[in-house]
Structure 1
């Protein structure tokens, strides 16, 4: 069975509604799988020296947003904080920094205004996709 993945990219200017991007030529499922596996391995590092020493919360959140973006899973602010494996206050500071750098945006749920979702900008999505491709290529040639 052929599966197609719909990607929603948030425009840089934030004023247009997100448009789906369908591209059957790119291995989005493989990218999502690689990023998910990498996140799982990052979580296992905590057993070595604890989460505070080897922590990289912003990167963990970006990777989780990347996977959510590909799979069509909405990532709430709360979910992103959990993905960072750091306290919520720390995670929220990183979210603010990533917003200021134009990597993510916040979007209120249209049905429940108490919920807020995070979305990657196209700039961040393309950059992370390129990094995941480099990771996969490097691991396959090793």
Structure 2
């Protein structure tokens, strides 16, 4: 299921062509992620809960910025309870969207990142939207 915020953003650009949709995929991802957080400040989070999309956006942004994300940070970025986020991370890993790896300096911590194929799909999605 695609985030309804994507369609709302496209509609607003079409209504107001002078406002440019960010061309760079990372800017599209940042805009979508900020819009989702803003929406959650005004509505009950459970109305629009899409934690996998939030995690994917967060991991895509981190990958583009060259940052690493811990599993705990990914759970926070999903804006759902920790156990729920872990369940979604597991499903995403089984579906080849993310991969986990050991932290290079802290054996107690795991890092999570978007897979190359999922990142490619995100780039293609944002190119289609631009």
Output the TM-score relative to the length of structure 2. 0.78
Instruction: Quote how far apart the aligned CAs of 1:50 are.
Output: 0.9
The answer as to 2:80 corresponding to 1:86 is yes
Q: Which of 19, 25, 44 is the equivalent residue of 2:38?
A: 44
Which structure 1 residue ranges, 5 or more long, are not aligned?
1-28, 138-142
In the alignment of these two chains, the number of paired residues is: 108
Distance (Å, rounded) in 1 between the aligned partners of 2:57 and 2:97: 12
Runs of 4+ in 1 over 4 A off after TM superposition: none
Distance (Å, rounded) in 2 between the aligned partners of 1:71 and 1:48: 29
Deviations 1:84-120 (A, max 9, x none): 1000000000000001101111010122111211011
Identify, as 1 or 2, the structure richer in helix: 2
Instruction: Quote how far apart the aligned CAs of 1:132 are.
Output: 1.6
Map of 1:100-111 to 2, 5 A cutoff? 100-111=94-105
Provide the secondary structure at the position in 2 that maps to 1:86. coil
Distance (Å, rounded) in 1 between the aligned partners of 2:42 and 2:95: 32
Provide the secondary structure at the position in 1 that maps to 2:46. coil
Distance (Å, rounded) in 1 between the aligned partners of 2:81 and 2:101: 22
Map of 1:47-58 to 2, 5 A cutoff? 47-58=41-52
